[in-house]
Each structure stands twice: as structure tokens, then as C-alpha cells.
Chains A and B, each alone.
Chain A
Amino acid sequence: MSQVEKFVCIGCPIGCPLQLTHEGQEIVEIEGASCNRGAKYARQEFTDPRRGMSTTVWIDGARWKRLPVKVSAPIPKDRVLEAAGEIHKLRVEAPVKRGDVLLRDFLGEPGVEVIACRTMARE
């Protein structure tokens, strides 16, 4: 029994409506893309959808109250909210430098780090 999943391609502003036909985990056909990025995107979204993520954490002793941070590599899409919750438990102290690693092997994903996105001096 083949089933159909629908995606909207995010490769460019055209936003092609993509239809991925699959039987279980096996992809049968991808339709609707006007360039080859569409098929690649649909395949990734079907097999292992991932998202980059950025948020902020409390910082003490700096000009601003929040420090922007990001994950160094895309994480599974269904864990984005969980990731935000984990990161929000952090509280850091100024000074912080851009690129400072705040968490390693984040969510148990080897090599994924949570890093500071800007430098904040102690004020």
C-alpha cells in the first residue's frame, strides 16, 4: 500500500508543492519539484528532518540580560522544543566570547555543541 506525504520546498521563494510517495520506509516517487533541490529536500524531510536552532540564555554582569546562542549543527526536528527547554536552564556569567562552547554533545548528539553567538563584556 503506497502512501503520500506532502511538503513545501524551502529551497527558494517559489515554494514548490512536493508529493513524496512511499511504501513503508521506501521512497517510490517524488513529484512537484521544478529543480533537483526539491527532491533532495523531500528525501531529507521524509527520512531525517532536522532544523538549526538559536535562542537566548540568561547572562549576569553584562550590558544586556540575554545572550544569543545556537546549536552548532542541525538537530532532529521533533526535538527542537525539548532542546529549547534544555538550553533555557543555562545561566552564564559575563564575560563571554563569541564561539564559547556552553554545552557539548548536546541532546546526546555527538559533536553538537551549544555556542555563544556574540561577545559580551563584563560591565
Chain B
Amino acid sequence: MLGRIEGRYDVVVVGGGPAGLGAALGARDSGAERILVVDREPETGGILLQCIHSGFGLHHFKEELTGPEYAERFLERVVDHDIDVISGSYVSSVGIDSDGDKHVRILREGRGISTVESKSVVLAMGCRERTRGAVRIPGTRPSGVLTAGLAQKLVNMMGMLPGKRIAILGSGDIGLIMARRLTLEGCEVVGVFELMPYSNGLTRNVVQCLEDFGIPLHLSTTVAQIHGRDRLEKITVAPVGPGFVPDLSRAWEVECDTLLLSIGLVPENELSQSLGVELDVITRGPRVSSSMETSLPGIFACGNVLHVHDLVDFVTEEALKAGRFAGEYAQGIRRPKDNITLVPGNNVRYCVPHTLAPGREHTIYMRAKEPMKPCLIKVGDLMQRKLGFVVPAEMIMFKIKPDVLDRFHGDTLRIDILPYEKEGGR
């Protein structure tokens, strides 16, 4: 833990989760010298610290780790690389002066406000959970309605159980994981209710977190009403018809004292917006170039603040890359501007990065709007790849080889996911 912080840095990273730590290592890798990570929590590691289940690191560490193990192993490398890390600290603003230098204002617990100068900044603030307000569930406002991730922190770190009889709205992975977690802690999980006709979590989690414990998953069903004055007493759930409108004629009531919401994550971009960084309306994260640079020169972004990931291993890879480019920028290396804009086409919800440049290898992250199998990913007329399936819950990642774009002379490139019939397939 650092005492005083002052002076000039090459790279300041905002956020000490997997994205921030990865970016710091990437920056060091590029040769940047003075690197600072600022984290608002009492210790770095981000959301990994409360994700005590296994399944992290298969790509990056080539073994299956729990969240805390992944975080600790990563942090050890950051410490080995002599990177300054301050926790319990909050970046309240970033200003850019006429020379392009960034002035990062930091509020530190018990130490007041200080300002450091930096040549580049990496935004790695992560995301936060959507709450009841985001889906407007009718009814009273009792205690016992909380987000699944908050419940995860209460149970796994603070030693508190949110209730005894639990219902879960939304079948995202956090919701499924918490269904198992609370069952192991002796709670009764009465059901998981999912608006969509398919689960938003990985099949593995549906099987191992719900089916193993006999927890019912109700698809195309939502919570139509919340009941209870001081404490949650019951919920009304109903199947949904066309347009996701609850069919109250087929509704039923479920007694529970706790409702966990696992209804999606939103990138946390207040700081980015105050800076004037241009955001993508779909990802709700910054628009970035192929060097992970936002619309403002010298400001980079990676991890869940950019777009919500489902695997921390992908966050790490993206963050190392963003850190490397931020470190290059700090050393005065300027790459030519990207000249190709990617456009999401058929069944593509979004793709990141938003622009590309020829002559380099690119990693594209994207998500489908609807499940489709089998299918074909088409990048303009330049390349295509067959996939056995796509589902919205699983991010699609693929690489574009350096020479592929050399044949392209337009300025917009469309990516489509199209249905594809296997010859003689089953």
C-alpha cells in the first residue's frame, strides 16, 4: 500500500479488478515505467473475490481456478512487476490539458484529494447490476428484494444470509450460481424465473446449479407483482405472452422472503461520460479503436466497462492488449488512425472493437441477438467461419489475420451471422 502519491505517471488505470490489473501488466509489458492502479474497494481483485465458485482461468492459466485464486495469482504478478496500487481510492475526475496530458483527481480514504498527471489513462471500472427499477416490477417495496451479486458478497465475504426462502428472477450465470450457493448454505430456493424462452446462463450452470438440486427453472415466465409490507412475503409469477406481456389469467403465487434479481449488467461509465468519451448505445460502453482507444486520444478502455463479458479469461486478454497500447501511447508511439468501421449486421447485437486498421491481427468480440444453429459468420466478403451454434449468453470471439484486410478497400465492413445448412447433417 502506497503512502503518498504524487507526480507524473505514464499510465494510470482506473479500477483494480481483473481488467485493471491486466491493463497494468500490459502497460508494463510495453515498456511503460510508472504505472498506477487506483481501486475504490479496500482490496484489489474486483468481483472475482466474491465469485468463490470454480471455472476461471481455463484459457489464461490453463487450469480451473476459483475467483479468489485467479485474483490472487494475478495480483502477485502485478506486485512482482513493481506497479503502484492504491485501494480505498476513488477517481473523481480526469481532465485533459492542452498538451494532451491527463490530470487524474483521486479521493483517498483518510488522506483527502490529490492529483496525479499521466500521459495515458485506462478505464477499467467494470459494470454494475441492473436493479428492480430497471425492470419496473409492480407491487410494494419491502426488504428482501436485492440483486444476486449483492447477495453473493453478503454470503461469500460478509457472512450474512439474505433470507431463508429464495426466489430468483433471471437465469443469468450469477443467478444460477447463487441458487446453488444458497442451497449449500441451507436456504430453500423455490424457483428461478426467466423471461426469455431460453436460459441466459451456460448449460453447465443450469445442470450443475439447478438440476442437481431439483430447483425448477420456469422459462418464458416473469415476476408480475411483489407482496409484503416490511418484509417480502410472496410474489406473483406469470407466463408471458407475445411482447413479453405477463398473462395474469395463468399467474400463480410463490411464497418467499427473498427475491434475487439476476437481470443483467450495465457498464459503469459515469467517469467516461464526464470526460466526453463517445459511448455505443448497445454495449453502453465506450466506442473503441483496434488499439482499445476511446474517442479521446490517450484514453483507453477494457473489460466490463467496455462490454459485459462472460469469461474473465477474455477480460484478461483484452486488458493486456489495452494496457500495451496505453503504454505505447505514453511512450510517444502513435499508430495511424483506423480506417475501417465495423457494422453489426444480421443477428449481430454488437461487435468490439468498433474500428479496424489493415496490417495487424485483430481479435473481434461479438454477441448474437438470437440462438442459431448451425450458422456462418461472415466478415464482408473477406472471410467466413462455420459455427455449430451461437447463443446470446456466450460471447463469440474470433481473429482476423493481418493480410485479410489488405484486400479490402471500403470504409465499412459488415459482420453477419447467417443460418447455414450442413450437407447431409443430422
A116 to B30, CA, bound (A): 35
Contact-size category for A: 20 to 34
B230 at the interface (CB under 8 A from A): no
Contact-size category for B: 35 or more
Indicate if the CB atoms of B157 and A77 lie closer than 8 Å: no
Contacts of B158 in A (CB 8 A): 64-66
B204 at the interface (CB under 8 A from A): yes
A16 to chain B, nearest CB (A): 9
A34 to chain B, nearest CB (A): 7
Which residue of the partner chain, among A10, A12, A13, contacts B393 with CB atoms under 8 Å? Answer: A13
Give per-residue flags for B232-276: 1 if the beta carbon is below 8 A from chain A beta carbons, else 0.
000000000000000000000000000000000000000000000
Which residue of the partner chain, among B156, B183, B203, B204, contacts A56 with CB atoms under 8 Å? Answer: B156
Contacts of A34 in B (CB 8 A): 388, 426
A119 to B49, CA, bound (A): 11
Chain B 150-185 interface residues, beta-carbon cutoff 8 Å to A = 155-159, 181, 183-185
A65 to B202, CA, bound (A): 30
A68 and B68 in contact, given A13-B389, A34-B388, A54-B53 (Cβ under 8 angstroms): yes
A55 and B184 in contact, given A13-B391, A68-B68, A117-B52 (Cβ under 8 angstroms): yes
Contacts of B72 in A (CB 8 A): 98, 118-119
Contacts of B181 in A (CB 8 A): 55
B58 at the interface (CB under 8 A from A): no
B200 to chain A, nearest CB (A): 11
A68 and B52 in contact, given A13-B389, A98-B72 (Cβ under 8 angstroms): yes
Which residue of the partner chain, among A12, A51, A65, contacts B208 with CB atoms under 8 Å? Answer: A51
B180 to chain A, nearest CB (A): 9
Chain B 27-73 interface residues, beta-carbon cutoff 8 Å to A = 42-43, 49, 52-54, 64, 66-69, 71-72
Task: Say whether chain A's binding surface is mostly helix, strand, loop, or mixed.
Answer: loop
B373 at the interface (CB under 8 A from A): yes
A77 and B53 in contact, given A14-B388, A14-B389, A98-B72 (Cβ under 8 angstroms): no
A10 and B208 in contact, given A15-B203, A63-B43 (Cβ under 8 angstroms): yes
B5 at the interface (CB under 8 A from A): no
Contacts of A8 in B (CB 8 A): 203, 206-207, 211
Indicate if the CB atoms of A117 and B69 lie closer than 8 Å: yes
Indicate if the CB atoms of A63 and B42 lie closer than 8 Å: yes
B212 at the interface (CB under 8 A from A): yes
B227 to chain A, nearest CB (A): 30
Indicate if the CB atoms of B203 and A13 lie closer than 8 Å: yes
A61 at the interface (CB under 8 A from B): no
The 6 closest A-B pairs by CB, nearest first: A65-B159, A15-B203, A118-B68, A68-B52, A10-B204, A84-B184
